[in-house]
Amino acid sequence: MDVLLLAHPNDQWPHRVERLISGRLAVHIADVQTHPEPHIDCTDVRLIVGSPSSIARWIPACPNVEWIQSTWAGVDALVDTLPDGVVLTPLKHVFGQSMSEFVLGWILALERRVIERAGATHWDDRPELGVLGKKMGILGTGSIGSAVANAAHQFGIECRGMNSNGRPIPGFTHCFKSNDMAFFDGLDYLVSVLPKTSATDNIINSDSLKRLAPNSLVVNIGRGNAVDDGALLHAIRQGYVRAAVLDVFREEPLPQSDPYWHEPNVFVTSHTSAPTSERLVSEAMAKNLERFLAGQQPLGAFEQHKGY
């Protein structure tokens, strides 16, 4: 066995990957819900494909693995168990469309009072002002952040970005260096697509939230560590943040006792902003597979010093 695919029984992506690899490497598909099976010899496995949490359980059984392809964009569940010398590639450059749909869908729904009007029981002809001319700040200017910015521009929303060094990125009117608080000034919409690293801990905090425009909206589709949860709840309850759409959390699933569930202006979306389409895994790894077979390093690998 050269390749180990870890998947749920009904997943279709393994069959697409299997066709991609067909005739070149020996493939075995294992149930993601099981632990390494004693009767399966994994000593020759060179490539593992699956979610980070499932792969972490199988790594000890695969001493000669060379490349790990994650089926998720975030790989923090795997980082601590990654053997030295093993290349880890997150699922990149495939979530821009779905993330953009999510962010703009929720912003439009809240600004145009779609949810409120859907439950209307009396005539209400108060107009909404819409999103034209509003300011969006996107924490993270990679492929996902850029896709969200490009989608927002179609609605006349001005976008600024924050990245590690303030480098300019097409699609953003201005990019700020990490922890430059001026980034937050006057934002109508604050969107985080940040990975989980020590540098992104609590970047959305009481100081940054107070700099936002009145009636601002906060959307987190990156990782839960970016938000100081107590500060966000306080900002919403005090009224200087109108609402928050939260897809990711420090602990998932979010415990039923968490106050977010009971806050009327917080919308919990249970890590659904970017479902992995069945075609994406094979599409994302096609070019790297050719490089791997040619003895070259896969592109877009996780970098330990960056944390993503």
pLDDT band at 77; cut points 50, 70, 90: confident
Catalytic residue of the set 111, 158, 160, 223: 223
pLDDT band with cut points at 50, 70 and 90 for residue 242: very high
- The predicted pLDDT at position 177 comes to 97
Domain containing 69 — which CATH number? 3.40.50.720
Distance between CA atoms of residues 306 and 308, nearest Å: 6
* pLDDT single digits (tens) 41-59: 999 999 999 999 899 999 9
pLDDT of 38 > 80? The answer is: no
- Give the active site residue among 112, 153, 271, 283: 271
pLDDT reading at 66 higher than 80: yes
Res 89 pLDDT > 80: yes
- Residue 63 domain-assigned (yes or no): yes
pLDDT in tens, 208-239: 999 999 999 999 999 999 999 999 999 999 99
> Same structural domain for residues 39 and 122?
no
Q: pTM for the whole thing?
A: 0.89
Is residue 30 domain-resident?
A: yes
- One domain for residues 117 and 193: yes
> Is the same domain home to 223 and 284?
no
- Total domains in the chain come to 2
The verdict on whether 305 is a catalytic residue reads no
pLDDT number for residue 283: 87
Q: Please check whether residue 244 lies inside any domain of the structure.
A: yes
pLDDT of 34 > 90? The answer is no
| Residue-level pLDDT at 200 | 96
Give the confidence band of 92 by pLDDT, cuts at 50, 70, 90: confident
Is 234 among the domain residues?
A: yes
**Domain annotation covers residue 299:** no
Q: Please, which pLDDT band fits residue 74 given cuts at 50, 70 and 90?
A: confident
291 is catalytic: no
Residues 79 and 195 in one domain: no
If asked whether residues 74 and 130 sit together in one domain, one would say no
The tens digit of pLDDT for each residue in 254-285 reads 999 999 999 999 999 999 998 877 788 998 89
In a domain? residue 181: yes
Considering the domain boundaries, does residue 308 fall inside one? no
Residue 303 annotated to the active site: no
Q: Residue 231 has what pLDDT?
A: 98
| Same domain (yes/no): 22, 101 | no
Same domain, 48 and 184: no
pLDDT of residue 79: 86
pLDDT of residue 304: 83
Q: Are residues 89 and 101 in the same domain?
A: no
Do 172 and 208 lie in one domain? The reply is: yes
Sign of the CA dihedral with 180 first, then 181, 184, and 185 last: negative
Q: Domain range holding 61?
A: 3-93+277-293
Exactly one of 252, 279, 290, 291 is catalytic; which is it?
252
Give domain status of residue 67, yes or no. Answer: yes
Q: Are residues 88 and 123 in the same domain?
A: no
pLDDT on residue 146: 98
80/115 same-domain check: no
Asked if 30 and 59 sit in the same domain, the reply is yes
At 23 the pLDDT is: 92
